[in-house]
Structure 1
Amino acid sequence: MIGTLVNVVAILVGGSLGLIFRTRIPERMFKIVFQAIGIFTLYLGVSMALKANELLIMVFSLVVGALIGEFLRLEDRVENLSELLKKKIGSKDDKFSTGFVTSFMLFCLGAMTILGSMEEGMGNEPTLLLTKSMMDGFSAVALAAVMGVGVLFSVIPLLIYQGGLTLLAALFGGVIPEVIITEIAGVGGVLIIGLGISILEIKKIKVLNMLPALLVEVLLCYIFLR
């Protein structure tokens, strides 16, 4: 769990610096930074998605996962959680929910999250997660400067998700083939593309409702690829 804890600290430090810079950045600069983050998010998603090979499994996982997420109303529940946190801390930041959700997705859906958690969970040095921590720390500066304090609170779901993956890897990591990890990262890449489209305000996509696609992908990969 060392890698995840360092990751949390890096985001908190970077996000805090971003909040300081936020008060000193002209409003017109926010929009261009926001667009830059959106374009990079698209690039990151495409680069991950192209590594997947089992496209039929990917499409089926996305469709079924989206239906499950829509039925469970995951996005509404997460937004309600973020609004609850916002009220608890007395924040009046109108971008709190956007910062919370966007940061969580960016910090948690990358290939380094999955591979790094597997690495540490299987007893190796958390090299990937430490590298990811440095990258996330710098990203948190820009995200918090644009989206506000919600970015800092994204460490809560990150700790649960990434820490949970590390614990699962400690229990089952030795039996998860690398090909399955690659395919999971591919689905994550598609979700990140959707996130990038939302950030750029091209179209609002309920990416959180598609998160169950990751679990469906794991199940189908175990059935057809082992």
Structure 2
Amino acid sequence: MLIGPYVNGAAVIIGGLIGAMAGNKLPDRVKAALPMTFGLCSVGLGINLVIKVKFMPAVVLAMVIGAVIGELFYVEKGIGKAAGMTRGLVNKFLPPVQGLSHEEFTEKFVAILVLFCASGTGIFGAMHEGMTGDPSILYIKTVLDLFTAAIFATMLGYSVATVGIPLVVIQVALAMLANYIMPMTTPDMMADFSCAGGLIMVATGLRICNIKLFPVANMLPGLFLVMPFSWLWYVLVVS
């Protein structure tokens, strides 16, 4: 029986609700400082994942082609529309967030959606539990996500809690597919997958800090390409 995805999703929902309720009580300087700090942590974690790479050319090729696919299919634009609809729906029932334009809200919402739902830790943790029944990796992510959701909810309000729903759906799907995916993977493929996830986390961190607004969501197709490309690189070039 799967446990990790539901615990992780519940943590995001609870953290989002707590942060939204506490948002008005926090000074503006604290609200400004916390996301910058977490953005820096995201960059650091991303770098830690990137250095595990085995075949960097395969990762680069997967990320470039993935970004092209994302741009052609307007992935980020679609997620942005969903974010706007979510904000409108939540605002009908709960107090709306003040002081954020639609563009600012969308940028930050897309960033946290990627951070929660497409992180290497979450994807690998879900696959690991599906294959072994061990939810320990997702438990670690749960602790981090609880505080992260609370931090961002101080700015984005109750909409952050809704991210817990797609997070559960994605992790449950990955866990169910793990029996088919994991036996076909190698340590080198997992290392390159971690590298791709790390690159996205670095881009997410820079975006959160308003240093560079990378189209993070448009980079996501690269995550689906990196393992096959890593395997092809080993077969065609290395071996």
TM-score by length of 1: 0.92
- Could you tell me how far 1:99 is from its partner in structure 2? 4.5
- C-alpha distance after superposition, 1:109-136 (max 9, x if no partner): 3332133112211132211112211221
CA distance in 1, matches of 2:88, 2:152: 21
- Residue 72 of structure 1, CA deviation: 0.4
Asked if the contact 1:39–1:200 (Cα under 8 Å) also holds between the matched residues in 2, the reply is: yes
- Residue identity opposite 2:139 in structure 1: L
The percent identity for this pair of structures is 27
Q: Which residue of 1 aligns with 2:89?
A: 88
Query: Does the 8 A contact of 2:55 with 2:233 survive in 1?
Result: no
Aligned counterpart, 2:223: 214
Structure 1 partner of 2:43: 42
**For the residues of structure 2 that align with 1:52 and 1:147, how far apart are their CA atoms?**
34
Match of 1:101 among 89, 106, 110: 110
Matched with 2:213 is 204
Structure 2 CA distance for aligned equivalents of residues 142 and 90 of structure 1: 19
Equivalent in the alignment of 2:170: 161
Aligned-residue offset at 1:84: 1.2
Residues 99, 200 of structure 1: CA spacing in aligned structure 2 closer, same or farther, 3 A cutoff? closer
3-state DSSP of counterpart to 2:133: coil
1:16 aligns with 2:55: no
Residue aligned with 1:148, SS: helix
Alignment of 1:140-159 (within 5 A): 140-159=149-168
Q: Any gaps of 5 or more consecutive residues in structure 2?
A: none
**In 1, Cα distance between equivalents of 2:127 and 2:187:** 10
Q: Is the 8 A contact 1:99 1:151 kept in 2?
A: no
The answer (yes or no) to whether the contact 1:52–1:183 under 8 Å persists in 2 is: yes
Moved more, 3-12 or 122-131: 122-131
Q: Pick closer, same or farther for the CA change 1:140–1:90 going to 2, 3 Å.
A: closer
Partner of 1:173: 182
Distance (whole Å) between structure 2 residues aligned to residue 113 and residue 154 of structure 1: 14
- Using the size of structure 2 for normalisation, the TM-score is 0.87
Give the conservation status (yes or no) of the 8 Å contact 1:18–1:142: yes
- Is the Cα contact below 8 Å between 2:16 and 2:160 reproduced in 1? yes
- Are 1:52 and 2:56 an aligned pair? no
Give the counterpart letter for 2:142 in structure 1. S
- Other structure's SS at 2:150 match: helix
RMSD: 1.8
Q: State the Cα distance separating 1:32 from its structure 2 match.
A: 1.1
8 Å CA contact 2:111–2:216 kept in 1: the answer is no
Write the distance in 1 (CA, Å) between the matches of 2:10 and 2:62.
33
SS in structure 2 opposite 1:90?
helix
Shift of residue 223 of structure 1? 2.1
Q: Distance in 1 between matches of 2:211 and 2:198?
A: 18
Question: Contact (CA 8 Å) 1:194, 1:205: kept in 2 or not?
Answer: yes
Partner of 1:115: 124
Q: For residue 181 of structure 1, report the CA deviation from its aligned partner.
A: 1.5
Q: 1:99 & 1:164 partners in 2: Cα distance?
A: 25
